[in-house]
Structure 1
Amino acid sequence: MIGLTYLNYASIGLMPLRSAVAGLWPYEIGGLAFMRPLFTRHGELRDAIARWLGVTERNVAFMGSTTAALHAVARTFRWEEGDVVVYPEGDYPANVLPWTDLMRHGVCARAVRDWSAPFPERTRLVAISTVDWTTGTERPWQDVCARARAAGIWTCLDAIQSAGVKPSTSADVDFWAAGTQKWLVSGFGLAVLVVSDRALADLEGPWSTPISLREPPHLESGLVDSARRWELGWVTPTALLRFRASLRWFERTGWDEVSARVRRRRDRVHERLMAMGYRVISDPTAWSGIVSCDPAPLDAKAVVEAGYRRRIVVGDRAGCIRLSPHCFTTDGEVTRTLDWLWRVKSRGLDG
């Protein structure tokens, strides 16, 4: 964006113009005459998502947000008193509250710090996120999900900080969720929920809605045998069309190329911050698009606010500055941000 230096995709991604334009037309303005072609595009988008994630279109559900998707997963099971669900300690509330809310049903929701430890007895669900949202370090989600599946435990993966950056799913994941507003650069209003074949075969879904009927509105048609059983209602068409445009760009560019571009940018930020004397807390091996550093003795929030006054946008989390460049971030933006942080380090907030 002209005049804006932006390294904060882990919060909200800058929407490309192509995606914004794709979502401008309000299909509802023509009623069903305009909406009917949109139903075909729904199917096309499911197919495209399925190709990306290595599943089939029947595994793909559209939700309004990552939070809604995870709450749908939480409602899927017939919980019994004493059942256990585990989730990452200190995780973002979207991947905490769906599980702690289950305590009202007698479920034990346990926060986990050491993922190498054995799962507690009676664990029915492991809910893990791909990335620590404060440090940017990738969690050992692949190993955790593999161990859980080997033990007959259901798995749920919050992939919002990996989707659009690097591969973020495996055959051991039963539920995969990611909103499109961050690294998928498509704005609010849509999250993708992928439901595994195992879950489709063994679980009924969290609710029954008209959209989950085989032939709406005919009740006698029965429910579909797909992830649409997890959909609560229609997602706004503009959100779907924005994501459709973004996904096409990612596909043309190639996911490996996207990942390589993000890594080059985050590695440059990481190395330069260390050279400047910042204490970088992110892991360059278990990497994500996030690089977090401690600006002590300066206050992270104050540094971020100083950046906003210069139209340099980064984030702050847990007392650290969080920088998150995407493949769209230019070399000039990275240079301007790093030069500014050097002045902050050497001269203070007025540098």
Structure 2
Amino acid sequence: MLPVKVFATPVKQEINVSQHYDVAAVRRNFPATENVVYLDAGLQTPLSLQVKEGIERYLQEAFETAGPKRVWLNRVESTREKVAAFLGAAPHEIAFTKNTSESMNIAANALPLRAGDKVLMIEGDHPNNAYAFLNLQKKGVVIECIPMAEVVNADSFRPFIDERTRAISMSQVTFHAGHRFDVASVGSLCEQTSLYFVVDVMQGIGVVPIDAKAMKATFIGSGTHKGLLVPQGLGLLYWDSAKIELEPAYMAAASLANPPADFIARADNMALPPSASRFELGNFNIPAIHGLSAAIDLINGIGIEKIQSHCFDLGDYLIHHLDELRIGLVGPRERQHRAPHIYVVALPAGEWLEYFTECGIRVSPERDGIRVSLGMFTTTADIDRLIEAIRARNVPSTQARTALLSKLG
């Protein structure tokens, strides 16, 4: 084990963690937070009472009546409207998918790219964004990656754009270090240079406000099991409906403008609708959509800006205590460039992950350390427990260390 040096007389500094909403009340909606110090919202959030009730409503109706299908489909459209408002888009620009990976693959294959065309990405971005485009290399599409940096904006991409460049694809927030990139400036650059712009917002959605129109994105893809609080198996796709030339790589009856009432496929009935339903294949994940409707209501009831501010304040609190311990932060420190809720602590995951698990603290291993990811339910007490666990591992006295671990529960 590599020791973490703890200084006996750290620099004193007062950190004021503001209360933007009643966090204790919100926390009661997430019972798992009473059983574990949950600092892993960047992997998946615990199930909330509201989402559980939404899914149970579906299950009860399915159990008792075998399903009021028309009622369920109406709720799908109602949830589509909620998602659209949440992203600053129109309902007809929202499609439901299975996950982020499917959304990004739909986007990549809808772009009218030919052999020799170039797509720009960021080196080390999430693989489920990257592989969707790397797979196009077999068609002769060129994928070029710009360097990963603490700050990525329009100026980062500009030198790499040439006459062959057709698109840029990137994440809004990185999963491995909590960078928050300037996607708005990149979107403006794409608009100026007539490039398609594809954005993966999976790590930011539900915590970071998203305005699809201000982002000037062609496509925005995301899953829902992190900031949107829903179990795995549901994704979202925003499509700029002004880009009517973009068509799906696959089709089903549900993709058509006029699905055949007699369920007979005809070559003269292939017209696509002017909506994002052209990218759907039908048979929605209806229970998850019930859950998503409840989740958006919960988030809107608190306020996305307040959730973001709460997580920023907690991040400041965490960084302060890491500084006291002289432990590094892998990603950016400044609010302007960091995600409010994702922090990678420079502790070797192979040496610390199991220890944190033994202490009842849920975190994730990442490329260069331990990822601490916050949610609307996280408190300063959760951060304190993490810091106490780090201190406990470095207390030389076995008795003192045991006492601290006992305090951690």
Normalising by the smaller structure, the TM-score range is: over 0.9
User: Are residue 108 (structure 1) and residue 142 (structure 2) matched?
Assistant: yes
SS at match of 1:126: strand
Residue 232 of structure 1 and its aligned partner are, at CA, apart by 2.6
Consecutive unaligned residues of structure 1, counting only runs of 5 or more, are none
Count of paired positions: 347
- TM-score norm. by structure 1 comes to 0.92
* Separation (CA, whole Å) in 2 of partners of 1:272 and 1:247: 33
Quick one: percent identity of the two aligned structures? 22
2:301 to 252, 268, 292: 252
- Deviation of the 1:175 alpha carbon: 0.5
- 2:161 corresponds in structure 1 to 120
Q: 1:325 corresponds to which residue? A: 374
Say if 2:183 is the partner of 1:141: yes
Matches within 5 A, 1:151-300: 151-171=193-213, 172-199=216-243, 201-218=244-261, 220=269, 222-283=271-332, 284-285=334-335, 286-288=337-339, 289-295=341-347, 299-300=348-349
Which stretch shows the higher mean deviation, 18-27 or 279-288?
Answer: 18-27
Alpha carbons 1:207, 1:229 under 8 Å: kept:
no
The alignment's TM-score, normalised by the length of structure 2, stands at 0.80
1:84 aligned residue: 118
Counterparts of 1:90 and 1:182, CA distance in 2:
21
Q: C-alpha separation between the residues in 1 aligned to 2:394 and 2:107?
A: 45
Paired amino acid for 2:226: K
Q: Does the residue aligned with 2:370 lie in a helix, a strand or coil?
A: strand
CA contact (8 A) 1:73 1:206 kept: no
- Counterpart secondary structure, 1:182: coil
State how far apart, in whole Å, the 2-side matches of 1:33 and 1:14 are: 27
Q: In 2, distance between residues paired with 1:308 and 1:240?
A: 32
Q: Deviations over 1:88-144 (max 9, x none)?
A: 111121111001100100011122216514233211110010112211111222212
Could you tell me how far apart the structure 2 residues matched to 1:252 and 1:206 are?
38
Residue 30 of structure 1: how far off its partner (Å): 6.4
Structure index of larger Rg: 2
8 Å Cα contact 1:77-1:206 kept in structure 2:
no
1:23 paired residue number: 55
**Secondary structure of 2:95 counterpart:** strand
The one-letter amino acid paired with 1:3 is: N
Question: Match for 1:44 among 71, 78, 83?
Answer: 78
Is the CA contact 2:134–2:143 (under 8 Å) kept in the aligned structure 1? yes
Give the conservation status (yes or no) of the 8 Å contact 1:126–1:155: yes
Q: Is the 8 A contact 2:86 2:210 kept in 1?
A: no
- 1:209: how far off? 1.6
Which digits, 9 at most, give the CA deviation of each residue in 1:197-230, with x for residues without a partner? 322x232333322112334334649432100111
Q: Which consecutive unaligned segments of at least 5 residues does structure 2 have? A: 1-31
What SS is found at the alignment partner of 2:110? coil
